[in-house]
Structure 1
């Protein structure tokens, strides 16, 4: 006989699960008891909020290429788990949430915390499944891992009533086995139909200015090496979306920069405009990438090819000349083989693009030496980049850091990763995410970037970092407001003192972090930041740097649509300090 809880834990072990992130509650006590009985096999990481547990699992999955697993008790625990599940699913990150629900006999009888969580999670998962017999637990776990890791990866939700974990089951009534292929992703990657790869090679041969666009799918399929190999073999420039960053080293002559609206590089957007063939690799071509589907401008002579694991993404918002349904890594590998005897493209356009790039960075140089107080983001980002001498995992919130980090951060190696959750733009991601990143790759330095609006949403996880002795460096951009929203209000013509319900107390976050036990600094000048960051990188434990910076709403950030609305030229290669 085996308890349902032991069956569950053994199945998770079979799938190589090493960490489960979660929060204890009334209904998940049997799961915790089973984990304790098998201590040493799976580490249960107690978080201070279910939302944080989900963000840890999300970051763990993005970096480890394994499934991120987290759990929650019934009722409020399940409801708090919704945001990270939605983010992971929309970002094609394989995450499994297990909610331990009220016992089945209480179903429909007004039991406290009863909630139809299957329906709650259906819109934001690939599957939301309830287990109604303990014998089915192994089958449900196999199905969850298979669904999460195959095709377009995504989130899966499993509901396990508490009594299923407490039930005893004869060993012969179930099979304890897993699928080796579904321990990581992409599982069972698919290849395109015959002739498609050759057709794309022909398009590239006939193009004068082909451009590769690496999206988040290139990262999900682990296609960095294949992308670089094909780009170098055919001498084709590469631009990336925000989620496609890290696919190419920023200092590579073929890595032109970030496209789109938020934190874009003007020379990268110019490459999109000048190209006569766009090859999207794992990008759904959303509103940020296409600047509201207005960029690049309409050109009937420009051809579009798109490669994506999800056939539903193909030609969804683009008029494709060629659509290839397949895993980006496999398709790139096949392209390299198919094009091995084909002539690489010439250097003239690449030299032109790199000329644009050189002009941009030379023009930005004065911004990096600006000592105006409060500090502006550009010199902070430059000092930050210069200190990244070893591979690092950087987790950023989707708020204040985004436009300046994506524009000015430069990583020159192929082993560093820069992650921003871009599906829903929720704040509160970075602080818990550093824990998941550290557990995924403990040998790498891990850094979290966020604004003070985000800090107040996840401050409780500072205790988790201290309890685990997670050696992460947290950097807060402290500007005393919801900067992005305040900037939007300024875009509507409001004055600084006319903005509404966006300002809050500029708290001493360093003192708060220090009270939790983190090594902390509160800095106001560039020299103070440099000294603090140098010390943090050497410190064996969690660190917190509270940087007092200018509000994002003081100057127009590097956002294409904002610059255009205010009459500036968003494709100007001159990085100016432009007030609202």
Structure 2
């Protein structure tokens, strides 16, 4: 067998049905091996290596399997760095295969020579160079084991082209795979004896307990079991941005999103006033705690942390109790016990939070219904939410950084547990959502892929419109169009620089650009335009479609960001959600 055949057979053995990538000089042998097995593994060609990485990232987020992508040597590897860093920082299992120059060319000035293994070391769980074709099976097994076990993350393999061309006697190797590592979390852990009873005793003693679900809950697919536990104990649930979807938004125990960006003031109030905060699958990082300044009443000695990664335990606060374990297994074990919790003891607390929540939504109603121009982002979210609910179909929603983030996080309400909502938050880079629609489609063909992005992001990945058309992906693309890098322009104004520098550009004619690629497109400048376009988009199923939404910039009005409102001297905890300018 050639090394390329070994590599592809190992990928198939691990259940890889899709590999995303870009062709180059060095990966021709790999493509030949893939072409011979087209009926068992599909290659999706992207138009840029960065896009291929975001496709794999979305695939990993929306399945319980690692996303795999490949690139050629040199610039291909360098372009692949941003999505790998995002996946690793977001605990998404992704495997990158860099098909590199042959080993004999090392150190001799070969075109595209680069120490790729060292390049990816800081942003992966494992980055190694393959130096023997016979070791390919062993290294592939290690790659899947590393990506999927413990805290999931990214793995990079630098595979010289001559390793793929080398002949290997099949009798000298084993192509076996580890079944546990085909999916994640592999080898999930359970808490040690006594920890769960200690947690239950703390819950029984508390009057105002609160569960805070982070991104680890989504990775572990633990939303259902945590919701059932919360119902059994009558404990309200808040989420971080990446934990959204843990519980239906209209559930009486679903309080909202905590933190800085797109937060709910009543959710932050709940965290500040709880007497027992149970964080699950969260690093309790800077966004969640607004730079470790909130809650103003410290979390020390009232915090329980449940996580699969021991290195995050007690890293930022003094935990009352640390429980090492997979979220789904931990709460499954809790449900298997006799809970012996008096839920009525927590009822005044639940009612108080729901009163705050109802007041917030009452005050938000005028914004959500506003017909002012340019359209307010709140009005756009409401139209999208109505159309999504009316469609009755499940969706995989991937939102980019920028204008969609704070408003979608705050105002989107999802009550279909088949629908997933994702915002990549490790590095907050632009340009992920549009290609992510391809990865979402390959993750679950029975769910509608939806991408939300600003015009800054659109300019970085517009070429992937061709990919969506070529593959006939039935994606709905929403372009938030306002002709500026709005988040950065808002920061300029927040610091008193009304004459902003280097942040404005010509607003794109999104519908014309999309149409030129063969994408069905609408322009929406008014709420009536938007409602009609969304109805048309959800009815359109033969390929991708795009709505060019002309929307107010977050540089024109302070968005729902706690730290920004604080800087303007406003009360970020006010439930009335008043409008605030910068100057």
Structures share a fold, TM > 0.5?
yes
Match of 1:554 in 2: 556
Q: Where in structure 2 are the equivalents of 1:175-190 lying within 5 Å? A: 175-190=174-189
Q: CA deviation at 1:299?
A: 4.4
Q: Is the 8 A contact 1:262 1:560 kept in 2?
A: yes
Structure 2 residue aligned with 1:366:
366
Aligned to 1:569: 571
Structure-2 separation of matches of 1:335 and 1:294: 32
Structure 1 residue 482: Cα displacement: 0.3
- Cα deviation 1:349-392 (Å, max 9, x = unaligned): 10110010100001111111211111111111001111112321
TM-score (norm 2): 0.98
Moved more, 232-241 or 337-346: 337-346
CA distance in 1, matches of 2:35, 2:302: 58
Superposition map of 1:474-553 within 5 A: 474-495=477-498, 498-540=499-541, 541-553=543-555
Q: Distance in 2 between matches of 1:104 and 1:4?
A: 14
- Offset at 1:346? 2.7
Correspondence for 1:440 among 433, 438, 443: 443
The equivalences for 1:126-137 within 5 A come to: 126-137=125-136
Which deviations, in whole Å up to 9, do the C-alpha atoms of 1:530-550 show, x marking residues without a partner?
A: 101110111121001001111
Query: 1:339 Cα deviation (Å)?
Result: 4.4
The CA deviation at 1:225 is 1.2
SS in 2 for 1:233: helix
Shift, 1:251, TM fit = 0.6
Match of 2:33 in 1: 34
Question: Which consecutive residues of structure 2, in runs of 5 or more, have no partner in the other structure?
Answer: none
1:317 CA drift (Å)? 0.4
User: What's the CA shift for 1:302?
Assistant: 5.8
Equivalent residues in 2 for 1:22-421, closer than 5 Å:
22-299=21-298, 303-344=302-343, 345-389=345-389, 390-421=393-424
Partner Cα separation in structure 2 for residue 193 and residue 64 of structure 1: 28
Paired with 2:68 and 2:37, the residues of 1 have a C-alpha distance of: 17
SS in 2 for 1:243: helix
TM-superposed CA distance for 1:576, in Å, is 1.8
Asked if the contact 2:301/2:320 (under 8 Å) is kept, the reply is no
Displacement after TM superposition at 1:38 (Å): 1.3
1:253-284 residue CA offsets vs partner (Å, 9 max, x unmatched): 00100000000001101100110001000000
Q: Which moved more, 1:288-297 or 1:331-340?
A: 331-340
Q: Does the CA-based 8 Å contact 1:201-1:338 persist in structure 2? A: no
Using the TM superposition, give the Cα deviation of residue 341 of structure 1 relative to its aligned residue in structure 2, in angstroms: 3.0
1:121/1:157 contact within 8 Å kept:
yes
1:305·1:321 contact (CA, 8 Å) conserved in 2? Answer: yes
Q: Does the Cα contact within 8 Å between 1:246 and 1:418 map onto a contact in 2?
A: yes
The offset of 1:300, in angstroms, is 7.6
Deviation at 1:525, TM superposition (A): 0.2
CA contact (8 A) 2:300 2:319 kept: no
* Structure 2 SS opposite 1:347: helix
**Partner Cα separation in structure 1 for residue 382 and residue 299 of structure 2:** 40
C-alpha distance in 2 between matches for 1:346 and 1:325: 26
Q: Considering only aligned residues, what root-mean-square deviation do their CA atoms show, in Å?
A: 1.0
CA shift in 2, pair 1:371/1:112, >3 Å:
same
The normalised TM-score by structure 1 is 0.98
Secondary structure, counterpart of 2:560 in structure 1: coil
Q: Any gaps of 5 or more consecutive residues in structure 1? A: none
Alpha-carbon deviations, 1:203-225, whole Å to 9, x = none?
11111100000000111111011
CA offset at residue 43 of structure 1?
Answer: 0.5
Once residues 348 and 354 of structure 2 are traced to their aligned partners in structure 1, the CA distance between those partners, rounded to angstroms, is 10
Distance 1:253 1:392 in 2: 23
> Is the alpha carbon distance of 1:300 and 1:378 closer, same or farther for their aligned partners in structure 2, counting shifts above 3 Å?
closer
Aligned residue for 1:226, secondary structure, equals helix
The 3-state SS of whatever aligns with 2:243 is coil
1:415 offset after TM fit, Å?
A: 1.4
Aligned equivalents of 1:391, 1:521: Cα separation in 2: 23
The CA deviation at 1:298 is 2.6
Which of 428, 448, 452 is the equivalent residue of 1:449? 452
Aligned to 1:422: 425
Task: Say how many residue pairs are matched.
Answer: 577
Structure 1 residue 342: Cα displacement: 3.1
SS at match of 1:388: helix
**Residues 309, 401 of structure 1: CA spacing in aligned structure 2 closer, same or farther, 3 A cutoff?**
same
Matched-pair contact (CA < 8 Å) for 1:275–1:302: no
Secondary structure, counterpart of 1:81 in structure 2: helix
2:535, 2:260 → 1: CA distance? Answer: 32
- Deviations 1:102-134, CA, capped at 9 Å, x for gaps: 001111111111100010000000000111111
